[in-house]
Amino acid sequence: MLLENKIAIVTGGTRGIGLATVEAFLREGATVILTGSRQETADKAVAALKEKDPNAKVAGIAPNLADLASVEEAFQKVAQEYGRIDILVNNAGMSDSTPFDKYDEATFEKVMDLNVKGVFTCARAVTPIMQAQGSGVILNTSSMVSRYGQPSGIAYPTSKFAVNGFTLSLARELGKYGIRVNAVAPGITDTDMMRAVPEHIIKALCTQIPLGRIGKPEEVANAFVFLASEMASYITGVVLSVDGLART
């Protein structure tokens, strides 16, 4: 198992790519603490995972990811209970498709608070714990739109471009402590959000993808497993695209 005996926190782990990552980490032997927007949401996800596998080593927490003190308190409790935190996956985030002429400050701030500040608070809270251990892995969820942009919802690609810069910079700063920092940039993926998109639009999108289909959450989760594992022990400061696209 690639993550045997590792202690991992996965934010936004109750659905979509986050939940697939939790499941993949569990299969690879990790103990996983997932976060939800509310404790009841986290508890529901944990119950569903334990229904599938009663022996699953999983728990749920619900700190306010936009508040550093809340995150620090939650992560310290995890470290005290489990003895360490080996992996942090900053996956919690929200998208938006508001046209720019309809955009207001509140919408922009809401997206940035979760997608950027949430990454900062979680990384800031876990770093002292990993420094004391002398090792750790921080993984962030970026997006293909951080490279290509999107026609509406300006805060989302802006936030993911910020995640890329955060990832590269933090990798340079924390490498001396034995902490690796990388990101995964998913493309169009079969999540709840995509299931609301009409089939003809999805088919049109697939014609632009050399592999001819949209991605599966499990395929993105596999990238997180790889980067979290010792197989990626000499990889840091990378934004790994998982989008089915060909590049020169």
Whether residue 248 has pLDDT greater than 90: no
List the catalytic residue out of 82, 148, 156, 177: 156
| 200 located within any domain | no
Pick the closest to residue 18 from 170, 172, 217 (CA basis).
Answer: 217
Q: Specify the pLDDT at position 194.
A: 74
Q: How far apart are CA 223 and CA 241, in angstroms?
A: 9
Among this protein's residues, is 156 annotated catalytic? yes
CATH code where residue 224 lies: 3.40.50.720
| 125 located within any domain | yes
Tally of residues, the chain: 248
pLDDT digits (tens, 9 = 90+) for 71-109: 999 999 999 999 999 999 999 999 888 999 999 999 999
pTM of the model: 0.95
pLDDT digits (tens, 9 = 90+) for 46-78: 999 999 999 999 999 999 999 999 999 999 999
DSSP state string for the chain: -TTTT-EEEETTTTSHHHHHHHHHHHHTT-EEEEE-SSHHHHHHHHHHHHHH-TT--EEEE---TT-HHHHHHHHHHHHHHHS---EEEE---------GGG--HHHHHHHHIIIIIHHHHHHHHHHHHHHHHT-EEEEEE--THHHH--SS-THHHHHHHHHHHHHHHHHHHHGGGTEEEEEEEE-SB-SHHHHTS-HHHHHHHHTTSTTSS-B-HHHHHHHHHHHHSGGGTT--S-EEEESS----
| 224 located within any domain | yes
Please give the residue that has the higher pLDDT: either 193 or 73.
73
| 41 located within any domain | yes
Q: How many structural domains comprise the chain?
A: 1
Which residues are CB-contacts of 27 (< 8 A; sequence separation ≥ 6)? 1
| 37 located within any domain | yes
- Structural domain boundaries, residue 43: 7-189+216-242
| 21 located within any domain | yes
| 208 located within any domain | no
| 198 located within any domain | no
